[in-house]
Amino acid sequence: MLIGPRTMKIGVEFRWSDAGEVQLDTAGKPEFPKLSPNPGVYAFRFATQEETTVYIGEAENMQRRAAHYRSPGPSQATNIRLNERMRSHLASNGRITMHLITRARVEIDGSAEQCDLTNTFARRFLENAALLATARRGQKVENL
């Protein structure tokens, strides 16, 4: 027996908001725009004159996630990789803008409601929907 109906219709509606630019501080570390401690989905848009790529992630606490990218621990492979990517990109005159999703609506079988971003599954669903939409538009996604 299935855990639900054989066919389900699921949709999501969200809007990206501009959070600001990521820059290097005087010590050469990434410095992020002011972020709330709230949960959400974020995107870093890495732009040069030749190319633009996007990295999308989710976080239970946006401030804490930015702090981990700024000063990654030795076992945080993704944070280390993105810290290095940000530092080299900005040092070579690239631009990084940060964008956020802090509210979304989800519709399941015709019933719509606010998406509870405190729920890890909901954030990951939204993150994956944003990744799919970004890649579908032909933008280069660094997550893949």
**In this predicted model, what pLDDT tens digit does every residue of 7-59 receive, in sequence order?**
889 999 999 999 999 999 999 999 999 999 999 999 999 999 999 999 999 99
Q: Is the pLDDT of residue 5 over 80?
A: no
Residue 104, C-beta contacts closer than 8 angstroms, at least 6 positions apart: 12, 13, 14, 114, 115, 117, 126
Residue 3, C-beta contacts closer than 8 angstroms, at least 6 positions apart: none
Per-residue confidence at 4, pLDDT binned at 50, 70, 90? low
One-letter amino acid for residue 75 of the chain: S
Name the fold adopted by 10-136.
GIY-YIG endonuclease (3.40.1440)
**pLDDT computed for residue 1 by the predictor:** 47
Nearest to 119 by CA among 43, 29, 52, 58: 58
Mean pLDDT of the chain: 94
Q: Is the pLDDT of residue 71 over 50?
A: yes
What average pLDDT score do residues 98-107 get? 97
Q: Is the pLDDT of residue 73 over 90?
A: yes
